[in-house]
Chains A and B, each alone.
Chain A
């Protein structure tokens, strides 16, 4: 556990990156959680304000073609994305981690088969896979989370597996076995702690990727039910106003998606850099 906390303190290279990332991520998370309290207006109210108005004192971020206040929509817009991302990451960890650990540790033909299947999925473009899953099963938070999770599980699997395979051969594991330690015990005591830091790195990247994929799905029209405030949906609609130069309809939502993805990516990079001296 010390492994998780130690990168946060102490000088070194990746720290500024990581802290900026944490800052951004925290900002967005808090904003999304506090949305009902800090949003000035109801983001779904159609015709609340004048249509297609540029940012002004009354509507700091402008209004969209339905007269909805964009500031409110921007504050509210992250909730579903974050929810989907959290769910997806949790599912990935819950599935990918055990499969990776057990399969790699036991080895043999089963491991090779599982690895082959995982590699095949891994090679597939994530968005395409998400698209076909969503198109077949329909749109809902759980479905989106599942689609993204399926796409990402192979990554967890691979990372965990490579670590396990490396550690499995280490002398101290043999030493533990020679004094009678059982398989699961070895997994838990020796392998898991080493794997955790990799998981953090993959998890945060996964999170960022999930946000981008969700936004992508929204943009295609496979997103969440369209009446709800969501950054991706804003881009989907705002696009229609581009030819007249109505930049505000897409800019702020797009910026928020970027920031959300950026925040978690920075955490991932910063953390990885702290743990890996070679990159300094």
Chain B
């Protein structure tokens, strides 16, 4: 057990230590969703409507920043020494994903400070529910980032994928317009978009009115998606051959 948990714990801790030493990352992750949110929210005179979307964007940016370090680790060689150690690959994947998910969770929680601006007031007990929901969303998005980053050779490829895949997914997730009023085939896309369920999960946790899909559905889909991505990451990293830039 020790040989499974210890590697996971040390990689989780490494993410936190690195993050703590580069505090400017918090600014980078929180600032742009905040600006988007304030512009769109004030412009349409409804800050509350876009709050969950901005929160998911914060978590998504954090997940992206964190998982990009997989590519850097490969380029810089740190990944190599992990991969030739006897630690189980699944334990390393778990440590990396939990570490990155924790960072997303911290930054998402920081974003809660701005909730009162939108007239959203969170009771102390409710805070636990909201924090748990943010963690689940962060875990899912980190898993998605991991699966994307694992095969990538360069960080620019990752940025391209982010612009082509993650941003569009976010736009049609209910972050900007609700599923109820969506038109035509976009509505169908929203149904199968896992981010839709992340947004509605947060809306439910924040007690926003008219959150769709339902709370249980949102929770189940988000959790299933997260676990699925974790398994996929484990399988990908468990493959025998190890590539390196060297």
Q: State whether these chains interact.
A: no
